[in-house]
Structure formats: structure tokens, C-alpha cells
Amino acid sequence: MTAYFRPTSLDEALAIRAGREVEIIAGGTDVYPNKATRAGWGRMAHKDVLDITAIPGLDRIEEADARWRIGCLVTWTKLIRSSLPALFDGLKAAGREIGGQQIQNRATLVGNLCTASPAGDGIPNLIALDAEVEIASLRGTRVEPVEAFLDGYRHTSCAADEIVTGLCIPKREAEARGAFLKLGARRYLVISIVMVAGVVEIDSAEAIAHARVAAGACSPVAMRLRALEARLMGAPLGAVPALIRPEDFAELSPLDDVRASAAYRLAAAEALMRDLLAGFADWRERRAA
């Protein structure tokens, strides 16, 4: 029989986590579907469950001097409706494309990260945002960059006694903007065939001061495209789409599956990235107009 814990403080939750093997549940939008998938073929047992949703204070979006902090119970809807700056536009766009509104109303960003699906729409954005993951346990609190936190296919560094308490996103000196594009075989409720995310900082000369771009669903863990990032540095905004080269995507290792072929994924990643960068250029023009 599955035991169910619903503590009302983080300390209590950490003690439970330290004391036994439990699966954390937040929005439940991955936990329940996984349960249904297992039960579909007769695997009925479920780990004990630690429900963290009664812990106060974890559902906040907070601004500090150098960073924003997104608590682990912040849902996609809460993020979408927040007044975060354009830096977060990509993350918000991902939120709007996650499932339908029923899902967005329950699902948390941190749950999306912890599931660590190669097709998790939040993940390339968090990579592009240079987010850090804040992780607590009775042993103390640690902070780790998102790229390190995601340490394998559907795997994270979150230990059995740890709970992710939030995400920290550094503020940018220059004007910054995020963007996200997703490709799926239908509108709404669709797992990405490919998606790309990017954050660019723009200097006063209308050139890229800094860029982080990533692609998802093309490798076991969403990946930064560092060669492209390097080439974008200093480039005038209007010129960026032309800077893409096929070899920028060489490190991706997409799979053939029921949704698409590997070759297609690679080509689509490149095409989407070109569109994403073109979007940055347009945005600049629209602002100027």
C-alpha cells in the first residue's frame, strides 16, 4: 500500500525524504500519467509519495538584486501571468505550449525540470536562461547550474534525500530577451518533435553582447549550441540568422521514433533556430518602429 505524506513544512518534508524512499509529487502531471502507463500493463505498485504542495512559501516568484527566484511550486500558469521581463519570454512561450490549460494550471516548472524528459519544453529555456537549481536536504542547501543538474537521459543529480526548492535566474546587465519555438504534429497537447530556445543580450550598438541557445528533443539531454553562441557574439542583430551553419548542430544525436526521423529532427532544429534568431531581429525592428 502506498503511503502518502503531505507535510506542511520544508523541514518535515526533508526529514521524510531522508527517512525513506518516496516519490515527490507537485502538480502530478507526470506522476499520474506514469502511474497509468505502468498500470496499463499490470505494474500496479507505487512508491510512497511525498506531496510537497502543502508547504507554504514555495509558490513564489521573487526578485532580488542580481536574480529572480522561481519557487518549486510555481505553475506554468502563474509564470505566464507574471510580469517578468522579456528575458522570460521564451520560458513563458514554452508554458503556453505545454499541454492544455488544465496542465498549465497544475504543472510546475521544477517538476518539468525534474522529470528531465528530452522533450521537456521548459528545459532548453532554463539552459538558455543560465538558471541555477536550488536543492535542499537535511545536509544543507546546494546550488547547481541546470546543465550540471541534468546529468543524463531522464536523470538529474537530485539525490534521494533532496528536494529542489527553486530556480534562480541571473539578471542581465544589457537589454535581454528570451524566445522559444516548438514543433509538434498538432496544436495543443503535443510532445515536441524538436524545440529551440535562446536568450540574447543586446548592446547599445544593436549587436549581440551575449547569447545562449539550446535545442531540445534532439539528444538525451537538451543541449547548448556553443559554436553558434560563439559566432553570434558581437554580430549585428539583423545578420544573425545567416550565421547558422549545419555543423553547429553536429553534437546533437536525435533518434528515429514514431514522431519523426532523426534526419528530420536535425534539419528542423536548424530551421527553427534560424526562425528563432530571425525573431530576435524582427523584435528589434518592431521596437524601433
Ligand X SMILES: Cc1cc2nc3c(=O)[nH]c(=O)nc-3n(C[C@@H](O)[C@@H](O)[C@H](O)COP(=O)(O)OP(=O)(O)OC[C@H]3O[C@@H](n4cnc5c(N)ncnc54)[C@H](O)[C@@H]3O)c2cc1C
Contact indicator for 267, 247 with CB cutoff of 8 Å: no
Site string for ligand X, 65-94 (x = CB under 6 A): -------x----------------------
Q: Specify burial of residue 158 (Cβ count, 10 A radius: 0-12, 13-18, 19+).
A: buried
Q: What is the rounded distance in angstroms from the CA atom of residue 45 to the CA atom of residue 287?
A: 55
Site string for other proteins, 85-104 (x = CB under 8 A): -----------x--xxxxx-
| Nearer of residues 82 and 283 to ligand X, judged by Cβ | 82
Question: Which position among 23, 59, 175, 203 is part of the footprint of ligand X (CB under 6 A)?
Answer: 23
Q: Which does 79 bind (CB under 5 to 8 A by kind): ligand X, other proteins, none?
A: none
Cell of 35: 502511474
Q: What is the rounded distance in angstroms from the CA atom of residue 112 to the CA atom of residue 149?
A: 13
Q: Specify burial of residue 36 (Cβ count, 10 A radius: 0-12, 13-18, 19+).
A: exposed
Min dist. Cβ of residue 81 to ligand X (A): 16
Ranges of beta strands (E only) in the chain are 4-5, 22-25, 48-51, 61-63, 67-71, 132-137, 140-145, 150-152, 155-156, 163-170, 175-183, 194-202, 208-216, 223-224
Site string for ligand X, 103-122 (x = CB under 6 A): x--xxx-xxx-xx----xxx
Q: Which does 178 bind (CB under 5 to 8 A by kind): ligand X, other proteins, none?
A: none
How far, in whole angstroms, is CA 286 from its chain's centroid?
27
- Binding residues vs ligand X (CB under 6 A): 23-31, 33, 52, 72, 97-99, 103, 106-108, 110-112, 114-115, 120-122, 158, 163-164, 189
Q: Which residues bind other proteins (CB under 8 A)?
A: 1-2, 4, 6, 25, 27-29, 32-33, 36-37, 39-46, 49, 51, 53, 77, 96, 99-103, 105-106, 183, 185-191, 193, 258-261, 263-265, 267-268, 271-272
